[in-house]
Amino acid sequence: MRKATLIITAITFLLASCGKPEEEWNRFYGFTQADVVGHYEANPDQSLYDELPTSGIAVYNNASMDVAAVGEHSLSIHFVIPGKVNKTFSGPIDMTDENRSDISLTTVINATNKEDIWITVYKNDEGQVRFHGRVKRYYYRYDSDTEEYYLYRSDNWGFDVIKE
């Protein structure tokens, strides 16, 4: 009976591992402006949309983004999560750094608010480009005792999108 159970377990494991191969995504170091410009839609892999390990960052399965070149070394990223965020981030990207696999842009709204987008860029063996990251809005308050602003809260919106 024990041998039969072991054989059935081994067969089940083999059948499960012979399914569709999992896509391998690797960090895309040294990407160019042309590599990342385009339209991105939410990654259809629903397993990615659980809360990230960082508490308070939910990954939304309906995010989209459009990335456009602005000059030779700058990007404009229009990011949308319907009913939550509709924001454009623009700025320079160091295209000479071959160790770069992230994009980070910040928009200062005023003394008490700023927003940023942080993207890790991935590429698979098929040449597809994928972004995983978050948009964050920072809220600051002024402390009249210290005469300084301090961060008192932030909102985070996670995303995982694939270039179409």
Amino acid symbol at 65: M
pTM assigned to the model: 0.80
The token duo for 145 is 């005792």
pLDDT of residue 14: 37
pLDDT of residue 18: 44
pLDDT of residue 58: 83
Query: Torsions phi, psi of 34, nearest 5?
Result: -65, -30
State the Cα–Cα distance between residues 113 and 151, nearest whole angstrom.
9
CATH number of 24-163: 2.40.128
State the Cα–Cα distance between residues 154 and 71, nearest whole angstrom.
31
**In terms of Cα–Cα distance, which of 131, 134, 132, 133 is closest to 156?**
134
pLDDT of residue 52: 57
Q: Could you report the average pLDDT of every consecutive run of 10 residues in the chain (164 residues)?
A: 42 40 81 96 81 73 96 95 95 88 92 92 96 94 91 92 97
- Count CA atoms within 13 Å of residue 120 on its CB side: 9
Burial grade of 16 (CB within 10 A; 0-12, 13-18, 19 or more): exposed
The token duo for 33 is 């402006």
pLDDT of residue 95: 78
State the Cα–Cα distance between residues 80 and 88, nearest whole angstrom.
9
pLDDT of residue 94: 85
pLDDT of residue 8: 41
- State the chain's maximal CA–CA distance in angstroms: 76
